[in-house]
A and B are shown apart, each in its own frame.
Chain A
C-alpha cells in the first residue's frame, strides 16, 4: 500500500505564500520513495526549514505518522503568513507540527543542536539580484541571490549544527546552485551525499540531495586538514595555510 501524502485540495493558501510547485512535488516524491528507510530510521525529531504552504511537512507527518513510532515535527518559516497557512494545512490533514516564525532556525540552534534526525528544506534557490533575498512578501520564497546560493549557504551550517549523529538532510537544489559543488563542500564537513531525485521541468532542472554524516568522510576531512598543517614547517608556510583556510571557509 502506498503511504499517504498531503492532498492538494486540502492545502490552504494565501496570496503571499508559496504554493506547492514542481520543487515541492519533487521533494515529497523523494521522501515518499525513501519512506521505508525513513520509517526504519525511527527519527525522534524532524524539522522543516521554510514550510510555506505546509505541503511538505504535512506529507512527512503523514508518511511517518501512521506507525506506532511517532516523531516530533517542527517547522519554521520567516514569513508569518506561511505559518498560518501551514497550520491550516496540517489541521486539514489531522496532523500536528510545532511551528516557529523565525529566520532559518534562529532561537533553536542552542538547544536543538545535535537532536534533529531528519531535516527537509526546499529553500529559495532561484538566482536573483542580492537585494531580493529575504525581502518582504512572496519574493523571499524563491529569491536566492547569486547563483541562488545565498540562503542555501546560510542553511547548511545550521543543518550541520542541528543534525544528530544519525541525521539526514534532504534539500532541493537547481543546476545553477552547483549541486555537485555542494556535495564536495559538505564532504569536507564529514557528510556523504546522494542525489536521490533529478527532474527536469520546462524551466529548471531540480536535484534533491540527501546528506548524512559519515564517520569515514569526517575522518578523511580531518586528516586532510591535519596534513595541510603538518606540511608547513616555517612561519610563512603556516601563515599561507591559515590564509587558505580563511579563504576556504568564506
Chain B
C-alpha cells in the first residue's frame, strides 16, 4: 500500500465520525522506483491532505518532506522528487492501519489492507 492510498482511506466502522487519518503501524516497508510524472503529482497535490502525508511518511521512516507545502513549490524538481518518493515509492508491505477513534486495527498483509468489517461494525 502506497501513501497516496493511505491518504484516501478512512475507517469505515459504523458510528465513527472521525475515521481519518488511519494511524500506520509499520511491520515492513519496501521501496519501488517510480518515474517522475510531474503533471500527475500536480493534479494529486490539490487533492491531498499534505499534513497527513508528512506524518505518514515519517512513520514509514522518510523525513525529508518539508512540513509545509504550497502549490508554487510544485515548480521545484527537488520537491517533486520528494513528493514522488513519499506518495508512490514507499509501500507498507506488512503492518496495520489503526482507526483513530476506536483503535480497531485493519491488517495490511502483502501490501493489501483488509478493510472488511465484522457484522457488528457495519
Chain A positions near chain B (C-beta within 8 angstroms) = 44, 68-72, 74, 78, 80, 83-84, 87, 96, 98-103, 106-112, 115
A98 close to B1 (CB less than 8 A): yes
Interface string of B56-94 (1 = CB under 8 A from A): 000000000000000000000000000000000000000
Interface size on B, residues (CB 8 A): 30
Contact of B9 among A96, A107, A115 (CB under 8 A): A107
Q: Bound complex: CA of A70 vs CA of B12, how far in Å? A: 29
In the complex, what's the smallest C-beta–C-beta distance from A131 to chain B, in angstroms? 16
In the complex the two chains form, is B112's CB within 8 Å of A101's CB? yes
B7: chain A residues at CB < 8 Å are 111
A195–B35 alpha-carbon span in the complex (Å): 36
Per the bound structure, the CA–CA distance linking A78 and B122 in Å amounts to 14
**Tally of A-B Cβ pairs under 8 angstroms:** 75
Tell whether, in the assembled complex, residue A108 and residue B40 are in contact, meaning their CB atoms are under 8 Å apart. Answer: no
B111/A87 in contact, CB under 8 A: yes
Contact B115 A102 (CB under 8 A): yes
A111 CB, min distance to chain B CBs, angstroms = 4
User: Can you identify 22 A-B contacts, CB atoms within 8 angstroms?
Assistant: A68-B37, A69-B40, A70-B37, A70-B40, A72-B44, A78-B116, A80-B116, A83-B112, A96-B32, A99-B112, A100-B1, A100-B112, A101-B113, A102-B12, A103-B116, A106-B12, A106-B115, A107-B12, A110-B10, A110-B19, A111-B10, A111-B20
Whole-angstrom distance between the Cβ of B9 and the nearest chain A Cβ:
5
Bound complex: CA A159 to CA B27 (Å):
33
Interface residues of B in 98-122 (CB under 8 A from A): 106, 110-117
Contact of B39 among A69, A74, A101, A115 (CB under 8 A): A69
Q: How far is the CB of B65 from the nearest CB of chain A, in Å?
A: 19
Q: Which of A96, A100, A110 has the most CB of B within 10 A?
A: A100
CB proximity of B22 to chain A, nearest CB, Å: 9
**Chain A: minimal CB distance from B98 (Å):** 13
Contact between B10 and A107 (Cβ–Cβ < 8 Å)?
Answer: yes
A43→B1 CA distance, assembly (Å): 20
How far, in Å, is A107 (CB) from chain B's closest CB?
4
CA of A158 to CA of B117, assembled, Å: 17
* Cα A103 to Cα B10 with chains together (Å): 14
Give the residues in chain A near B1, CB-CB below 8 Å: 98, 100
Q: Are B114 and A101 touching (Cβ within 8 A)?
A: yes
Is B39's CB under 8 angstroms from A100's CB?
Answer: no
Q: Would A100 and B110 count as touching, CB distance under 8 A? A: no
Q: Are A103 and B8 in contact (CB under 8 A)?
A: no
**Contacting pair A72 B9 (CB below 8 A):** no
Asked if residues A101 and B20 are in contact (CB atoms below 8 Å), the reply is: no
Interface contact B116-A115, CB-CB below 8 Å: no
Q: Shortest beta-carbon distance, B20 to chain A, in Å? A: 6
Closest 6 CB pairs of A and B: A107-B115, A102-B115, A107-B12, A111-B8, A101-B114, A106-B12
Question: How far is the CB of B58 from the nearest CB of chain A, in Å?
Answer: 20
| CB of B4 within 8 Å of the partner chain | yes
Closest chain B CB from A237 CB (angstroms): 37
Within 8 A of A (CB), among B17-43: 19-20, 32, 35, 37, 39-40, 43
